[in-house]
Amino acid sequence: MAAARERRPTIADVARLAGVSPSAVSFALNGRPGLAEATKSRILAAAAELGWRPSRPAQALSRGRAGALGLVLSRETDAIGADPFFPAFIAGVESVLSPRGDSLVLHVTNPADEAAAYHRLAADRRVDGVLLTDMRVDDPRPELTTGLGLPAVVVGDPGCADGLCAVSLDDKPAFATAVARLAELGHRRIAHVAGPREFHHSRRRQESWEQAVRAAGLTPGPVLPGGFTADGGAAATRQLMALGVGERPTAIVFANDLSATAGLAVAHRLGLSVPEDLSVVGYDDTPLAAYTHPPLASARADALGWGAAAARALDEVIARGRADDVELAPARLLPRASMGPAPDPARAAPSGPGSTAVRPQRQPEHEQAAEPAPEPTVRREP
């Protein structure tokens, strides 16, 4: 079975077949001018005949560029799985890399080894630059990569880019819309179940929620940590629902779908109906969001476009040393049936559990985004 591992053709083989020198082959391949058209096509034909493609390691060595971008994921292993962001993001990166024949080098580490991973990537010359995702508050990586001379782009807002090029996507409008809508529906006590404190985007989402609540003339309800996890979301929900009737929120805005879905389940288990007794909003628009019970209102960000934009920006940083910040169209709220009118305070029984009646859903599904999407804009750096 083991196919005789024949020697793969090299540039010399192609040159010989075409009756030219190796340099000519290189010129033809790279579209350099100064080669007769006839010669060029003869060379390309020879290359095709042999099925030759230049060896990437050899190219990388002589060009001094690896032809690859790096992505280091340092989440805890089990936290990666639940998030639909990365697969789509990576696909977006690929859509830029693939046509050029470049590739993506992925490293999964635990947080403790993160810095070492970047050091290695830089010293190795295995990649030409890296994408920094999951930015944390006071994230050391912008300084680290700058110090290492490793080109990098921040996938997140400029506030955490520390001078690096930032490719961002605003989640504020989605939270603003969600909260505004809830306020319209009569909710007066809107809680937030936040993501991990260390993530920049967790904080941003919390701020967005808070701002929106204040903008609606309300007092921000309680904020509980949900850690972006199902466990956290469930625990937070239980805590919130255990509050006295005067403090218990009638709506919860979760930092992501995973915690929101778990919250939904907890609500059911407590005998609460959503959205009759409690409105719930998530973030991420996981594939399941439209299929929870009831369908979970959530916000969708264009992860694919984000990946592509980040890859392009990194390209530019690598080539020109710097690139302008990019701001993508903001995430858009998908208002699904988990948002509904606030329960009538008069009817609100002080006891949550008890009314186990199954109420049919009447809420029609709106799939349109609540807001028209602005065009992506390129912001000049000051």
- Please, which of residues 196-235 interact with DNA by CB under 7 A? none
Q: Pick the stretch among 129-137, 183-191, 197-205, 371-379 that binds a second copy (CB under 8 A).
A: 371-379
Q: Length of the chain, please?
A: 382
* Residues between 347 and 366 that touch a second copy (CB under 8 A): 358, 360-361, 363-366
**Whether the Cβ atoms of residue 252 and residue 279 lie closer than 8 Å to each other:** yes
* Residues between 19 and 58 that touch a second copy (CB under 8 A): 51-58
**How far apart are the C-alpha atoms of 281 and 274, rounded to whole Å?**
11
Q: How far is the CB of 20 from a second copy (least distance, A)?
A: 21
Question: Phi and psi (nearest 5°) for 380?
Answer: -70, 140
Task: Determine if 377 is a binding residue for a second copy (CB under 8 A).
Answer: no
Q: Which two tokens stand for residue 307?
A: 């990946």
Non-local (6+) Cβ contacts of 39 within 8 A are 18, 20, 24, 28
184 binds, among DNA, a second copy, none (CB under 5 to 8 A by kind): none
Distances (CA, A) of 233 to 174, 189, 212, 222: 20, 18, 21, 14
341 binds, among a second copy, DNA, none (CB under 5 to 8 A by kind): none
36 binds, among a second copy, DNA, none (CB under 5 to 8 A by kind): DNA
Instruction: Name the nearest CA neighbour of 212 among 191, 235, 232, 236.
Output: 191
Name which position in 42, 44, 80, 185 contacts a second copy (CB under 8 A): 80
Region of residue 172 (phi > 0: left; psi between -120 and 50: alpha; otherwise: beta): alpha
Q: Pick the stretch among 3-11, 172-180, 220-228, 233-241 that binds DNA (CB under 7 A).
A: 3-11
185 binds, among a second copy, DNA, none (CB under 5 to 8 A by kind): none
* Residues between 58 and 77 that touch DNA (CB under 7 A): 58-59, 61-64
2/346 with CB nearer a second copy: 2
214 binds, among DNA, a second copy, none (CB under 5 to 8 A by kind): none
Residues that bind a second copy (rule: CB under 8 A) add up to a total of 96
Q: Which two tokens stand for residue 123?
A: 């010293």
Task: Determine if 128 is a binding residue for DNA (CB under 7 A).
Answer: no
26 binds, among a second copy, DNA, none (CB under 5 to 8 A by kind): DNA
Sequence-ordered alpha helix ranges (H) in 53-199: 56-63, 77-80, 85-97, 114-124, 141-148, 172-184
39 binds, among DNA, a second copy, none (CB under 5 to 8 A by kind): DNA
DSSP notation for 300-369 = E--HHHHHHHHHHHHHHHHHHS---EEEEPPPEEE--TT--PPPPTTT--S-STT--PPPPP-PPPP-S-
Strands across the sheet containing 223-225: 223-225, 190-194, 251-254, 279-281
Name which position in 17, 24, 164, 262 contacts DNA (CB under 7 A): 24
Tell me if the bond preceding 294 is cis, omega within 30° of 0. Answer: yes
Q: Which two tokens stand for residue 350?
A: 């002080």
172 binds, among a second copy, DNA, none (CB under 5 to 8 A by kind): none
Distances (CA, A) of 229 to 131, 194, 333, 368: 24, 10, 21, 28
Task: Determine if 312 is a binding residue for a second copy (CB under 8 A).
Answer: no
Q: How far is the CB of 156 from DNA (least distance, A)?
A: 33
Q: How far is the CB of 17 from DNA (least distance, A)?
A: 12
Q: How far is the CB of 31 from DNA (least distance, A)?
A: 10
Task: Determine if 159 is a binding residue for DNA (CB under 7 A).
Answer: no
**How far apart are the C-alpha atoms of 67 and 59, rounded to whole Å?**
9
Site for DNA, rule CB under 7 A:
7-12, 19-27, 29-30, 34-36, 39, 52, 54-55, 58-59, 61-64
